[in-house]
C-alpha cells in the first residue's frame, strides 16, 4: 500500500469522504477510488494530508536541525548539501526532471518527505512551514506591457500579471503564503541584463515591494573555490532588515587549478568504473575525442579565428582554470578539453571530474548515464560557494527565528 493511501485510510477515521474532498481540493468520488484501491492516489497527496490534516508530530521532519528549509528546482541537491552543512534540515523538495530526481534520491535517501515533481501543480498550502526558501530557479523571458494597456484590456497587472507563466511566479507565491525568515535565489549572471534589465526589475519589484523582503544581490565567481570561471547571481532576502552583506563571504586566497580535480592516473586514487581503470586508474579511452570530432573542432576554431571571433574549444592542462561547464557538455565537450600531450587527441572530463569541478565530494553518487551526468553537473551550482553563503546567512536566519535573541543583540550593541 502506498504511503498516500495509508495516510488517507488513517484520516478517514476522523473525516467523511465529502469532508476530505473539500479539505484536499478534490472530489468525494476520487477519495472513494483512492481509499478502496480502484486507482492510485497522486504522490503529492501524502504531503497534502500531513500539512492540512495531521498533527505536526507526524511530519517526519529532520531531527536536531537549527533551521528548516525547502529546496525548489533542486536539481541534484547542491544547494541542499550546502545548507545542511550549516545545520539546516530539508522539509520539502521539488525537481521535475526524472534523471535529476534519480541522482537526488541516490544522495539523499533518508529524506522523510516526498520528492515533488512539477512545482506549478503543488498547492502552496501543502508545503511545510519553513525558515528558509532555496531556489535555483530557471530564467524564462518576462513579458511586460504597460499598465494602461492592461487596464484597457481588462487584464490584471503588477504581481499577478508580470510574472504570470514564469517559474519565478511559483517562488513568489510560496514566499507570499509561507513568509519564510529568509530566502536564497540563484541564477545566471545575465539575469541582470536580460530584456534590457526589465526581467531583473520585475523580480526586485516583486520581492521588495510586493512581498516586503529586504534583498541583497551579488555576482559571485565559482573560481574562488573550484578551477572554473562560473559567475552566478545570488539574491539573498530577509523578512526583516538585517546587517547581512555578501561582503561577509570569506573567499579563499588560493585559487585552485585543474590538477586539483583531474584524475591523477598514477595509482594514487582507486579506479572507478567506468571512468577509470587498471592499477593506475587511467582514464578510460571512451573520453578521448575521436579523430573525426577533433578534426572538426580544430577546423571550426580556425574558421572563427580567421573571422576575428573568439569561438573555439577550450584546452586545459593541470595549471589551467576552465571555462564554465555547460549542460551541453555531453555534445562534444568543446568548452573544457583536457590536453593529453603533444600530437595526442584531447579528452573530455569524466563525470567524476565534472562533479569535482562543481565542488561535490568524491562520495557523491552518480547513478545516471554520462550524458545525463554532464547535463546535471552543467546545470548545478558550485556547492562550496553556496556553503559559504549559508555560513554567512545563518546568524541572521537564527536571529529572525528567535526574536528574543535578536533583541538581546540589539541591546548589547546599543
CA distances to 83, 157, 391 from 248, rounded to whole Å, are 16, 37, 9
Tell me the whole-structure pTM to 2 decimals. Answer: 0.79
Residue 60 has pLDDT above 50, yes or no: no
| % of the chain with per-residue pLDDT over 90 | 60
Indicate the range of 144-158, 201-215, 264-278, 313-327 predicted with least confidence.
144-158
Convert the pLDDT of each residue in 232-257 to its tens digit: 999 999 999 999 999 999 999 899 99
- pLDDT for position 408: 62
Q: Which CATH superfamily does the domain covering 65-251+382-413 fall into?
A: Vaccinia Virus protein VP39 (3.40.50.150)
Domain ranges for the chain = 3-56, 65-251+382-413, 258-379
CATH of 3-56, one of 1.10.357, 3.90.1310, 1.10.260, 3.30.160: 1.10.260
Confidence of residue 163 (pLDDT cuts 50, 70, 90): very low
- pLDDT for position 141: 42
Residue 403 has pLDDT above 70, yes or no: yes
Q: What does the pLDDT average to over 53-73?
A: 72
Q: Are 76 and 100 in contact (CB under 8 A)?
A: yes
Q: Are 246 and 224 in contact (CB under 8 A)?
A: no
| Residues 63, 67, 71, 72, Cα dihedral to 10° | 140
Q: What does the pLDDT average to over 197-225?
A: 94
Confidence of residue 139 (pLDDT cuts 50, 70, 90): low
| % of the chain with per-residue pLDDT over 70 | 87
65 is catalytic: no
| Residue 375: partners with Cβ closer than 8 Å, 6 or more residues away | 99, 327, 329, 330
Q: What does the pLDDT average to over 3-18?
A: 77
Of 136 and 58, more confident: 136
- pLDDT for position 222: 96
| CATH class of the domain whose range is 258-379 | alpha beta
Residue 140 has pLDDT above 70, yes or no: no
Bridge partners (DSSP) listed for residue 288: 347
Q: Are 69 and 134 in contact (CB under 8 A)?
A: yes
- pLDDT for position 232: 94
> Which of 9, 139, 217, 354 is labelled catalytic?
139
- pLDDT for position 406: 53
- pLDDT for position 56: 36
Identify the CA nearest to 265 among candidates 340, 348, 345.
Answer: 340
Cα separation of 226 and 132, whole Å?
26
Amino acid at each position: 500500500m502506498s504511503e498516500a493511501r495509508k495516510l488517507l485510510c488513517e484520516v478517514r477515521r476522523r473525516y467523511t469522504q465529502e469532508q476530505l474532498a473539500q479539505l484536499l481540493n478534490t472530489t468525494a468520488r476520487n477519495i472513494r477510488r483512492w481509499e478502496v484501491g480502484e486507482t492510485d492516489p497522486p504522490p503529492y497527496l501524502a504531503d497534502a494530508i500531513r500539512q492540512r490534516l495531521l498533527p505536526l508530530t507526524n511530519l517526519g521532519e529532520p531531527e536536531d536541525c537549527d533551521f528548516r528549509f525547502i529546496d525548489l528546482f533542486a536539481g541534484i541537491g547542491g544547494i541542499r548539501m550546502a545548507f545542511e552543512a550549516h545545520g539546516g534540515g530539508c522539509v520539502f523538495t521539488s525537481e521535475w526532471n526524472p534523471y535529476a530526481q534519480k541522482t537526488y534520491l541516490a544522495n539523499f535517501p533518508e529524506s522523510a518527505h516526498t520528492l515533488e515533481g512539477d512545482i506549478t501543480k503543488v498547492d502552496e498550502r501543502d508545503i511545510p512551514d519553513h525558515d528558509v526558501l532555496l531556489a535555483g530557479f530557471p530564467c524564462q523571458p518576462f513579458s511586460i506591457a504597460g499598465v494602461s494597456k492592461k487596464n484597457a484590456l481588462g487584464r490584471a497587472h503588477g504581481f499577478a500579471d508580470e510574472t504570470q507563466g514564469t517559474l519565478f511566479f511559483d517562488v513568489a507565491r510560496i514566499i507570499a503564503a509561507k513568509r519564510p525568515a529568509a530566502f536564497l535565489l540563484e541564477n545566471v549572471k545575465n539575469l541582470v541584463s536580460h530584456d534590457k534589465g526589465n526581467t531583473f526589475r520585475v523580480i526586485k519589484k516583486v520581492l521588495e515591494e510586493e512581498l516586503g523582503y529586504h534583498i541583497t544581490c551579488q555576482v559571485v565567481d565559482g573560481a574562488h573555490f573550484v578551477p572554473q570561471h562560473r559567475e552566478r547571481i545570488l539574491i539573498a532576502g530577509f523578512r526583516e532588515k538585517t546587517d547581512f552583506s555578501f561582503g561577509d563571504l570569506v573567499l579563499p586566497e588560493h585559487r585552485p587549478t585543474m590538477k586539483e580535480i583531474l584524475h591523477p592516473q598514477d595509482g594514487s586514487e582507486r579506479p572507478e568504473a567506468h571512468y577509470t581503470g587498471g592499477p593506475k586508474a587511467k582514464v578510460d579511452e571512451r573520453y578521448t575525442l575521436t579523430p573525426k570530432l577533433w578534426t572538426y573542432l580544430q577546423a571550426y576554431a580556425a574558421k572563427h579565428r580567421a573571422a576575428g571571433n573568439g569561438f573555439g574549444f577550450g584546452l586545459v592542462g593541470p595549471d589551467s582554470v576552465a571555462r564554465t561547464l555547460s549542460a551541453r557538455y555531453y555534445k562534444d565537450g568543446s568548452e573544457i578539453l583536457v590536453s593529453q600531450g603533444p600530437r595526442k587527441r584531447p579528452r573530455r572530463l569524466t563525470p567524476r571530474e565534472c562533479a569535482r569541478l562543481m565542488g561535490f565530494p568524491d562520495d557523491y553518487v552518480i547513478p545516471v548515464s554520462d550524458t545525463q551526468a554532464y547535463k546535471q553537473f552543467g546545470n548545478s551550482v558550485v556547492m562550496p560557494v553556496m556553503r559559504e553563503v549559508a555560513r554567512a546567512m545563518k546568524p541572521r536566519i537564527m536571529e529572525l527565528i528567535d526574536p528574543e535573541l535578536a533583541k538581546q543583540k540589539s541591546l548589547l550593541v546599543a
